[in-house]
Structure 1
Amino acid sequence: MQIWKKMILALLAVSIVYIAVVLSFIYIGARAMPASNLDTIVILGSKVIDDPARPMPVLKERLDAAIPLIEEHESAKVIVSGGQGEDETASEASVMKDYLVAHGIEVSRIEIEDKSMRTEENLANSKAMFDLGKTVIVTSDYHLYRALMLADWKNIDATGLPAKTRFGALVKGVPREVLSITYAWLFDW
């Protein structure tokens, strides 16, 4: 019985250290700064709701963070990336495009990638469909480390712009992101 207690405590200690390491990577990613010389802005999708579809708060945060960058870099191409989940009435990319246009971004600047269902696919499909050049990835602050890591693995020359996430979304998003980073480290490289 004593050996089981030691094994459980050891496993618990390793788990705590592992989670602390992953959280430190998330923190580093959340402090990323976008390059000033860029060719493309890729905004990663997140859930949309209702019919007609509209962005959930996390996606709205990403779009709102991207708008000043888009306005500042008038020659940059804008790619909105996100497919349509089974419980969504439209693709994330189409909702993102509509949101940007409603907020003054010229429709001619916006390209759509609407097949992806995961971050790895967002980046792979965007790279396959478009000449990205120097890219700034816009996503939630807690998600940026993984997005930049996957971009690096796909040989995308990328920096990031973190969208500030409200606390309520962090409570749900960060634990999920710890698992997603683990999955990426094991299977996406």
Structure 2
Amino acid sequence: MNHNERIAIFGSRVLEDGTPSGSLLRRTLGGLEAAKTMMSPGFFVTGGTSDERIPTEAAVMKDVLLENGIDASDILCDHDSKDTLASVLALHAQVSTSEHIFVCSDNYHVLRIVFLLFILGRKATPLWIVSGHTKTGVINWAYMWAREVVASVYDGVVLAWRRLTKGIST
């Protein structure tokens, strides 16, 4: 189905029993909550796994979306990406440039994703979801924000270099 809007939900850890971590569930439910304000959005879920004994992050998010009434034809999945940059590149490749992208992840993470999409010439809007800092703790949450600043610079340089040398199209 063609969509004008696409909610891109970025993965997080899947627990050993195959259920979503608190962060993964919060991100997926945040995307579902945002969808209530849109006409008929599509979804893009991204996240692989390095442990073949558990489902991919994308598969777990897709299951949550299906359980909440989203039609399978409205969900694009990226089961291969194992980091943010790979997920952004998969999103860029799979989602039509005619669709407006809404980025759903933890609040400390969405700005890097929007920044990387900007480097690729894509307009994206961050979705601000319920924060997980109360369960994570202030020090760990501050660490996550600081890590994102460093990762944003690193991924931005890597992506800009790839665009220049490998001709990634916008």
Q: TM-score, normalised by structure 2?
A: 0.79
How far does the alpha carbon of each residue in 1:108-165 deviate from its partner, in whole angstroms, 9 at most, with x for none?
2111011111111111111112315211001111212212112212222100102222
8 Å CA contact 2:100–2:123 kept in 1: the answer is yes
SS of residue matched to 1:101:
helix
Equivalences for 1:115-134 in 2 at 5 Å?
115-132=80-97, 133-134=99-100
Match of 1:182 in 2: 150
Q: Which amino acid aligns with 1:136?
A: F
Matching residue within 105, 108, 124 for 1:139: 105
Which structure 2 segments of 5+ residues have no match? 158-170
8 Å CA contact 1:46–1:59 kept in 2: the answer is yes
Return the structure number with greater relative CO, CA threshold 8 A, min gap 6: 1
Q: Which amino acid aligns with 2:147?
A: L
Moved more, 81-90 or 115-124: 81-90
Q: How many angstroms apart in 2 are the aligned matches of 1:145 and 1:131? A: 21
RMSD in angstroms over aligned alpha carbons? 2.1
Match of 1:68 in 2: 33
SS of residue matched to 1:69:
helix
Q: Following TM superposition, by how much is the alpha carbon of 1:91 offset from its aligned partner in structure 2, in angstroms?
A: 0.5
Q: 1:141 to 1:87 in 2, by over 3 A?
A: farther
Q: How many angstroms apart in 2 are the aligned matches of 1:185 and 1:145? A: 12
Q: TM-score, normalised by structure 1?
A: 0.72
Q: Which amino acid aligns with 2:9?
A: I
Higher helix share goes to which structure?
1
**What number of residue pairs does the alignment pair up?**
152
Q: How many angstroms apart in 2 are the aligned matches of 1:107 and 1:129? A: 16
Q: Which amino acid aligns with 1:66?
A: G
8 Å CA contact 2:109–2:148 kept in 1: the answer is no
Q: Which has the larger radius of gyration?
A: 1
